[in-house]
A = this chain, B = another copy of it.
Amino acid sequence: MAKKKVRIVPLGGLGEVGKNMMSIEYGENILIVDTGIMFPENDMLGIDYIIPDFRYLLDKRDKVRGIVITHGHEDHTGAIRHVLEEIEAPIYATRLTRGLLEVKLSRGGMLKNIDINTVQAGEQVQIGPFGIEFFHVCHSIPDGVGLGITTPAGLVVHSGDYKFDHTPVDGWPTDFGKLAEFGARGVLALLADSTNADKPGWTPSEALIDPALDEVFTNAKGRILIGTFASLISRMQQVAKVVSRHGRVMAFVGTSMIENAKMAGKLGYIDLPKKSIVTLDQALTMPPSKVVLMCTGTQGEPSSILGRLSTGTHRSLEIQPGDTVVLSSHPIPGNEEMIHRTINRLFQRGAHVIYEAIAPVHVSGHASQEEMKFLLQLVRPEYLIPIHGELRHLKQHATLAREIGIPGERIAVVENGTVIEFQDGKMKVGQRVPGGYVFVDGSGVGDIGPRVMREREALARDGFVAVHLSFDPTGKVLRGEPQLVSKGFVFVRDAEELFEHARNIIRDIVSSKGEDDLESRIEGDLSKFFYAQTKRRPMVFVFTSKTR
């Protein structure tokens, strides 16, 4: 019986939003589900993105039988390159997800030697001891799947990112029948998306956006610029339909937008009528009332298309009075300020800006509370592991589950790195393995830790002062003036008096003291002096040299 132990180890996506990754293990076999990244928070200074800490898998890398990717969003795919650098295993993904993975891997020059298997919803694939049934789920990207994983310990259902949309853009609703069939068969554990666990009711259908866009198109006299994520393939389709209905043409702006549209069109996931698609250059020669531009930048990123338009720094495109800009998106928490700034700047340049608060030009891709309860009722799992969300979302998901009768002890609200074991139909929450943040900064992966972050915080807050002293051969008499360099502390041109005073302090210390502890004495006294004068605490450090 001991052999029938299945371990589930979340390495990402539990207690946070993003970098979703999970390890499911039986004996000498490991299945990885998703390899996502997470975007840095405002106080993660200088960090490009964050990947899961999968050190735990490194000494078991030869046991990994496969990597299943549930859909093509960055928070589920973005770390694939980092994982493949360490772990050699075949990837399983649906056609569109595969296409998006290939775009990503080919940019890194990693496409050859990679084994990717195309699967489709409704299909069953055996990966080692795991029988995987892929079932379709609606989300804000087509071709997303959830997983029914038959393990030796029982059936484990993974929801992926899902919503219950009865009128999705691609006409393909979530596979309720399959979920009910799992429920009838008997589900040991459900791992289910918790992202919107604090949103009451049902998430509106994508179809809600159509009339809102229609109204925008009816009222707009000039050009229409629509901002969204480059991966929001469904939104491209919705916009293309409205464009045709209103006799306009559309151009995609920005590399990722163009590449993704091309790929999704080629694979048949969106239908873009040839006569309504033009290039940006063509669009710029046409009357504004005929033109729609689809671009990135809904999160206020300064280097995105909308970001550059808002500051007037795009190479070939400029906001003109009469433009209507639509932000078809929801702020990722932490980005609100930058988004609002972008909106204000677009207004300043004469555009009319329509965003979520003004009109329903965006809906969430994730299930809300009533859908989450519905999923639980369909699947009727013995155990629930809330996934994909901050701790507050997981807790709220657990509250919902208790409300519909799942006993609290059958719900595991855990964070990344917590080993959950299933054996003889029982769940055990076990030890912790590493499951934290791995910062990617430039070409460095994981080398930036708390110490460097603290230095960046201190430098960001008050800058630094570097002091350079030359001594004569006795090491006791200064040669020349103390040199001071300061950045991020004060406006140097106005602070000559402050620095002259600082030089006097240094000279006093040098003349009254021997060499002992000179540097730390100067650092200490200057820190105190600068704080007394400015109520700021720059880093202070001293270099000394001695002539021989």
Q: What is A's interface to B at a CB cutoff of 8 Å? A: 15, 41-43, 45-46, 198-199, 333-334, 336-338, 340, 343-344, 347-348, 353, 355, 357-358, 390-392, 395-396, 441-444, 447-449, 451-452, 455-464, 466, 468, 470, 479-480, 483, 485, 487-491, 494, 533-536, 539, 541, 543, 545-548
Contact = CB atoms under 8 A, between A and B. Distances in A.
Q: How many copies does the complex hold?
A: 2
A447 B498 CA distance: 13
Given A46-B536, A451-B491, A485 B461 contact: no
Contacts of A448: 490-491
A480 to B, nearest CB: 7
Contacts of A347: 391-392, 395
Given A336-B334, A392-B340, A460-B460, A536 B468 contact: no
B463 A466 contact: no
A534 B355 CA distance: 38
Given A391-B344, A543-B543, A455 B488 contact: yes
Contacts of A43: 42, 337-338
Contacts of A458: 487-488
Q: Which of A338, A358, A392, A483 has the most CB of B within 10 A?
A: A392
A203 to B, nearest CB: 14
Nearest to A539: B487
A459 B487 contact: yes
A452 B396 contact: no
A443 B535 contact: yes
A225 B443 CA distance: 45
A198 B344 CA distance: 13
Nearest to A473: B547
Given A357-B199, A392-B344, A488 B545 contact: no
A485 B489 CA distance: 18
Contacts of A459: 456, 459-460, 463-464, 487-488
15 contacts: A15-B344, A199-B357, A343-B390, A343-B391, A344-B391, A344-B392, A353-B392, A444-B490, A444-B536, A447-B494, A455-B463, A456-B459, A460-B460, A479-B547, A547-B547
A5 B490 CA distance: 42
B15 A480 contact: no
Contacts of A462: 46, 442
A480 B485 CA distance: 22
A525 to B, nearest CB: 18
B451 A460 contact: no
B483 A464 contact: no
A333 B336 contact: yes
Nearest to A389: B344
Given A357-B198, A447-B494, A545 B468 contact: yes
Given A333-B337, A444-B534, 5 more contacts: A447-B491, A451-B491, A456-B459, A459-B460, A487-B539
Given A336-B336, A392-B343, A441-B536, A447 B490 contact: yes
Nearest to A348: B391
A545 B543 CA distance: 11
A199 B43 CA distance: 29
Contacts of A355: 392
Contacts of A441: 536
A541 B543 CA distance: 13
Contacts of A494: 447
A456 B535 contact: no
